[in-house]
């Protein structure tokens, strides 16, 4: 790899207006195959619930097919929203995935709900009360299962042993986040940390805190920071800006509590013309060279070891082309592999 840092992809499986979730999943599998051939380091699937615009409600369901249809790229969750689940069930699922694709599975763990409060409540098995905020305890239990470090006197100690012998190797655990809490938890647990810059662009000091407070663990000897950045590349800067309009329209509606499919570029541009422009969060948008310059800036700001690219586009071929242009700019693969 000729870049100064690893390059990866976070896929939210966008559903274009007029298409179906099945189309979005098919596009995810196709994009993963392209990214594998293009030389990207890892391919993560997101978790979003009850969304008409994003099909990825269950990354654990998509990881297996993506891993089986690719050859070398690491595949994982970006992330599993742990408050919804039993740590033991997550450990079982990802041990099975790791057996399916040995050495290639990542378990990215998040604290966010990935949805609104009502849907989060619907996801609960017990609706008699709102679930407690016990993420640190959930994380510790999950890591104990995966690392076979459950105390012998723990009620679930025998379950941990069954995972260690029957589920193959462990996935590589990560902590995801966009707040200081997640940075500190990742440091204390000795996990690699992925910061969602596309959600909160003011995270450089959090990444610095993570590095300062990092405690080596059985999972990781030195701190490792990945940063997920919104990025769209096209042959011209204007085309890239036009391609960014649909996601801007989606997010504006989301802020008003309205969920919509990914609109067409034409519809989004028409919507955008009647509204004042917003600078918003950091976006690496333009030609491949311009995107690289902006990603380099983000990398330097965070001291990142890896940049993870994320975008939402209604046109699948434009999305494939965006990643191909970036891969070619960075020299990730031979030009013959670029579609």
CA distances from 107 to 20, 91, 129 (A): 27, 9, 28
Write the burial class of residue 303 (CB in 10 Å: 0-12 exposed, 13-18 middle, 19+ buried): middle
138-197: pLDDT as tens digits: 999 999 999 888 888 887 878 877 775 445 678 999 999 999 999 999 999 999 999 999
| 337 pLDDT above the threshold of 70 | no
Answer for the pair 117, 89: CB distance below 8 angstroms, yes or no: no
Average pLDDT over residues 310-322: 98
- Is the bond into 79 cis (omega within 30 degrees of 0)? yes
Quote the radius of gyration of the chain (alpha carbons, Å).
20
188-201: pLDDT as tens digits: 999 999 999 999 99
Q: CA–CA separation, 183 vs 200, rounded Å?
A: 13
First CA to last CA distance, the chain: 19
Answer for the pair 69, 43: CB distance below 8 angstroms, yes or no: no
Average pLDDT over residues 13-40: 97
Domains annotated on the chain, with CATH: 6-337 (3.20.20.30)
What are the two backbone dihedrals, phi and then psi, of residue 77, each rounded to the nearest 5 degrees?
Answer: -100, 135
């Amino acid at each position: 790899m000729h870049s100064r840092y690893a390059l990866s992809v976070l896929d939210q499986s966008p559903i274009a207006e007029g298409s179906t979730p099945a189309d979005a999943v098919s596009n995810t599998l196709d994009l993963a195959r392209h990214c594998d051939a293009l030389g990207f380091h890892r391919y993560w699937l997101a978790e979003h619930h009850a969304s008409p615009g994003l099909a990825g409600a269950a990354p654990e369901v998509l990881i297996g097919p993506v891993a089986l249809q690719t050859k070398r790229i690491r595949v994982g969750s970006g992330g599993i929203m742990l408050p919804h689940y039993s740590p033991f069930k997550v450990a079982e699922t990802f041990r099975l995935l790791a057996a399916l694709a040995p050495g290639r599975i990542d378990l990215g763990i998040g604290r966010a709900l990935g949805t609104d409060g009502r849907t989060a409540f619907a996801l609960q098995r017990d609706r008699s009360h709102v679930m407690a905020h016990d993420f640190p305890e959930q994380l510790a239990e999950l890591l104990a299962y995966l690392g076979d470090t459950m105390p012998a006197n723990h009620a679930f100690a025998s379950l941990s042993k069954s995972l260690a012998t029957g589920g193959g190797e462990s996935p590589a655990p990560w902590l995801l986040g966009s707040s200081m809490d997640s940075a500190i938890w990742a440091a204390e647990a000795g996990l690699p940390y992925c910061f969602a810059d596309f959600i909160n662009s003011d995270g450089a000091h959090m990444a610095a805190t993570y590095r300062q407070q990092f405690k080596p663990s059985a999972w990781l000897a030195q701190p490792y920071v990945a940063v997920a950045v919104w990025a769209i590349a096209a042959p011209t800067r204007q085309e890239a800006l036009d391609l960014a309009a649909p996601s801007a329209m989606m997010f504006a509606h989301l802020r008003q509590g309205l969920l919509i499919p990914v609109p067409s570029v034409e519809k989004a541009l028409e919507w955008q013309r009647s509204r004042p422009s917003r600078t918003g969060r950091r976006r690496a948008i333009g030609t491949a060279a311009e995107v690289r310059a902006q990603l380099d800036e983000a990398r330097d700001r965070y001291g990142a070891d890896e940049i993870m690219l994320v975008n939402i586009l209604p046109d699948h071929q434009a999305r494939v082309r965006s990643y191909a242009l970036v891969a070619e700019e960075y020299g990730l693969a031979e030009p013959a592999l670029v579609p």
